[in-house]
Structure formats: C-alpha cells, structure tokens
Structure 1
Amino acid sequence: MSRLPQRIVCLTTETVEVLYALGEQDRIVGISGYTVRPPEARKEKPKVFAFTTGDIDKILAVEPDLVLTFSDLQSEISRDLIKAGVPVYALNMRSVEDILAMIETVGRLVGAEAKACALVAELEAQIEATRAQAAARIARTGRRPRVYFEEWDEPLISGIRWASELIEIAGGEDVFAEQARSPLAKDRRPTPEDVIAAAPDVIIGSWCGKHFRPERVAARPGWEGIPAVNSGRMHEIKSAVILTPGPVAISEGLPKLLEIFDF
C-alpha cells in the first residue's frame, strides 16, 4: 500500500503548476481561488480557499491527506489545519534557488523525484542559456541596463528577491538589489526620490492584481527626468508570471526580461 499522499490541497498556484508538470494532477483535490496555472486547473479542481482567508470546513470537506501552504502569510490556516489533524507542508520560496528546491521537494512528496529533477535540470539549462545570451549582449553593447522593478505603486514597493535575481540573470542591474533580499515588503519601500536618484534605464511594473499603468508612472512629480521615463522604456510583466515563485517565473519571466533588455 502506498504511503504517499493521494488527496492534496494546494493553497497557492505554484504547487499546482508543479504537480501538473509532473503528471501528478490527479492527486489534487482542492486549490486556491487565486490559482492561475495551469489554466485547466481552474476548470478541473474545486476551489476551497482564497489565499489568506476562507472556510477551513471547505478544505476539510475534500478530505485531504496533505495540504501545501506558502510562507508565514498562510501560517494561521496551517495552524488550524494541523489542529484539525491534517498534515501540512509549508513552503517558503524567496529566491530562484528556493523555487528549484521547491520543485524537487514536491516531487519527493509524491514519489516523482526523477521527473522533478528532470524539470529542474530543464530550468537550470534555461537559466544558463539566458546568462550566456545576456553576456553576449553586454559584450556587444557594453551596457548592463539599470532596472527598477515595481511590485506595487501605492506605496511604492520594489522587487522581491527572485525577481531581482532574474533581472541579474537576464543581464540587468536591479537598482534596489540590496533591499530585494528582505522577505518583508515593508523593507522594500523606496521613496520617489530614491527612484529618481537611482536613475534606472528600464522600469518594469508588475502590480499584483491590477494592470501596470506607465502613463501614471510618467506623471509622477520629478520622474520625467528618469532615463526610463524619458525614453519610454516602461514595461509590464504580469504578476502571475514574474511574481509567482514557481517554474513560470523562470520559463516565461526570464525570456520576457531578456527581450526587454535587448535595446
């Protein structure tokens, strides 16, 4: 008799993405309402929770033998599920390396370690290929663009660690790379004056849950002199791509960054 989990609830989209990629989607019996990848998951799987809010009884009703959660943001539901006798595995991806480790961990949890390692190897190969392409561009142009990544606009929040690392892999220089290492959004709040002083060549907007509005960025007092604003190099990467700490951040986020920096 298999002791591997057969009825898994995934409370964030990245573990859903991984289980589908490993061909283990039949184990999923419940997902978060914020799941976006893969698209078919939203049609096939019952939505049993939001992200930080919801009814624990909906989760318990699908009789999970494992619930996958994410970070301290879901600590309360993790606690309540544990009290209810449900096994919980809390993941906490903050870096590119963490994303790759998460894929391997999920693979081990469901007995698909070989497939998980193969997926990680593909993503690692893409990372190295992107580094090589970026290095060739830098050698050709002599330029590594300075990048301001904006995760939120009111208040300003700069990019989280894995986004900052992806910028570096694609040949850019995150102007707030030091702040990106903090897991707390409150530590990633540059002032408008900080951004002006950083003088980024490129601005990337990924406003979680709403469309990036470059015209609003350009209209901020004093920002007209920022090189990125002056040249119109303000780009959106959807938060569902770059701010999801799963395979998509690498498989789709990196190519988009590489394209943006090729000017």
Structure 2
Amino acid sequence: MKQYSLIDDIGTQHTFDKVPQRIISLVPSQTELLVDLGLEAKLVGITKFCIHPKDLRIKKQIVGGTKKVDYDKIRALAPDIIICNKEENTLEIVENLREICHVWVTDIISVEDNFNMISDFGNLFDCVAEAENWNRKLALAFSNFKSFIATKPVKKVAYFIWKNPYMVAGSGNFIDELLQLNHFENAFANQPRYPEIELEKLNPDGDLNYVFLSSEPYPFKEKDALKMANYTNSAKCIFVDGEMFSWHGSRLLKAFDYFKELQQKL
C-alpha cells in the first residue's frame, strides 16, 4: 500500500506507510464506534470507562481512564495509533503520547462533526464501506428525527453534569448541540463549555421548564432531585441518559430513538 496522509480535527497531519493495525482508544464513545466499524480485533488497549460493548473490558488491556493513563502499559502494547478527543483527554496526555506513536485527536461539537469523524475513521483504518454504511444509517435517522421534532414547542432546560461543584452544560459542546436539536433552549448557552453554578441562581426568572439530571459523568440520584426541587421554581427535574446526550459516534443512532421516547414522556 502506498504512503498516505490524513489531517485530524486539531490540524495535525499524520503520514502512514501502512494502515494502523494496533489501536488504543482513550475515548469510550469512539471505542464503541471502532467496534461497530469492525475494528475490534485491532483494538489492543482501552480505558476503564469503555463499557460498550459490555464484554470489551474483559478482552482488552485497560490502560487507565480518560484523564490519567498508564504510559508504561501503553508503550508495552506497541500501538500504531492512539485515538483521543480534545474534550475527553488532556493536552498533557496527548503530547506525552505523541512520543510513543501517532495520536489522532477528534473534536466533536456538531452532528456534522460526527459524520466527518466516521468518514475519517473509514479512511484511516481502510474500512470506508463500513463507515459509509454507518453514515447512511445515521443520516436517515437524523432526517427522520428532524421531521419528528419540527412541530414540538421549544422548552427551556438546564442540563446538569456534575455535583460538588454543580456544573451544567453551556455552549460549544456536543450536549448543547443535541439539546438544540431536541428544541430545548439551553438556559446556560450564554456561558461556554461547562460552567459552575450555584443552585440559588438556577432559575432566577422562573422560566425554566425542566432541569435535566444526567446519568454521567456524575450519576445523579433521587436525593439530588429532591434537593434541586428547592431551587427550581416549578421546573420539573428529569433524569436523562447521559450517554445519549454526550456520546458521539455510532451511539447517536440509538440516541435518536431515545430522544423520541423522551419527548413523548415530557
């Protein structure tokens, strides 16, 4: 095979003499995507948070989490490429890993970014047909969902991702993109990324419709909803599946069905 070059989402050019055969993924949602693209056999290392498919952590070497990794374990696996994400992994991790092998970094904010990532993986790992098939399925589901949601009224929501301190989804991230797609006006869209907030300032104008408590990265419980109710000013607390709102990749196909169910419950 001839030498080929590709550019990742942060502008780094990678030149390969052959298709990478030994892959480490440090992003749970992208691990799932790699498996769905038929690349499970090439995965040699994953994180402890790579929970889909369910049995993958039994089969593959765990090399740490998304914010802290075991560099010795990674070196011992002799990877050809390590898959990272700008939001999930730290710049320090990425720079250190570059001393070992190629580090491909994704940056997924929009649904269009998601389509592009899948196409990139198709070219990167010589599985173009599989990538195109996934993008066709996602494009159809995306179109169907946009038709479904078109007549739904816009509701104002606050989407919580963390406790101690309380943090919510702001703008410029995949969660905000999917909230907008669902006709949810993000109450904190005027702040970037994931701002910390005080519960006392959660709903000062009393115009919130819902407070979404995500299942991840912080697993909110019923006691959290009860406490939150003291500050919501009639906004209803709803538990939502964090994977559906924050995992990109092939998970988005299941997310569209989940969003329809959620809309019908509200």
Q: TM-score, normalised by structure 1?
A: 0.83
- Confirm or deny: 8 A CA contact 1:18 1:106 kept in the other structure: no
1:191 aligns with 2:193: no
CA RMSD of aligned residues (A): 2.3
Q: Deviations over 1:128-172 (max 9, x none)?
A: 211211124x2xxxx322222111132222225212221222232
Residues 20, 107 of structure 1: CA spacing in aligned structure 2 closer, same or farther, 3 A cutoff?
same
Aligned CA distance change for structure 1 residues 218 and 54 (closer, same or farther; 3 Å): same
Deviations 1:153-198 (A, max 9, x none): 322222252122212222322222333xx34x3xx23433442125
> Which among 162, 169, 186 is matched to residue 174 of structure 1?
186
**Map of 1:253 onto structure 2:** 255
The whole-number CA distance in structure 2 between the counterparts of 1:189 and 1:114 is 43
Task: Establish whether residue 24 from structure 1 lines up as the match of residue 39 from structure 2.
Answer: yes
**Is residue 166 of structure 2 the alignment partner of residue 156 of structure 1?**
yes
Would you say how many aligned residue pairs link Structure 1 and Structure 2?
246
Q: Which residue of 2 aligns with 1:43?
A: 58
- Alpha carbons 1:36, 1:42 under 8 Å: kept: yes
The answer for unaligned runs of 5 or more in structure 2 is: 2-16
Residues 180 and 186, structure 2, Cα contact 8 Å, conserved in 1 = yes
Identity of aligned residues (%): 22
Contact 1:172 1:261 (8 Å CA) reproduced? no
Any conservation in 1 of the 2:27–2:47 contact (CA below 8 Å)?
yes
Q: How does 1:74-85 map to 2 (within 5 A)?
A: 74-84=90-100
Q: 1:220 Cα shift?
A: 4.1
Aligned equivalents of 1:221, 1:235: Cα separation in 2: 11
Q: For residue 22 of structure 1, what is the amino acid of its counterpart?
A: L
Change (3 A) 1:158 1:10: same
The structure with the greater share of residues assigned to helix is 1
Contact 2:160 2:166 in 1 (8 A): yes
Q: CA deviation at 1:221?
A: 7.7
Q: 1:239 aligns with which of 232, 239, 242?
A: 242
Aligned 8 A contact 1:36 1:240 in 2: no
Deviation at 1:43, TM superposition (A): 2.3
Question: Is the Cα contact below 8 Å between 1:152 and 1:207 reproduced in 2?
Answer: no
Quote the offset at 1:214 in angstroms. 4.1
Q: Cα 1:93–1:9, aligned 2, differ >3 Å: closer, same or farther?
A: same
- Specify the code of the residue in structure 2 equivalent to 1:106: F
> Scaled by the length of structure 2, what TM-score is found?
0.82
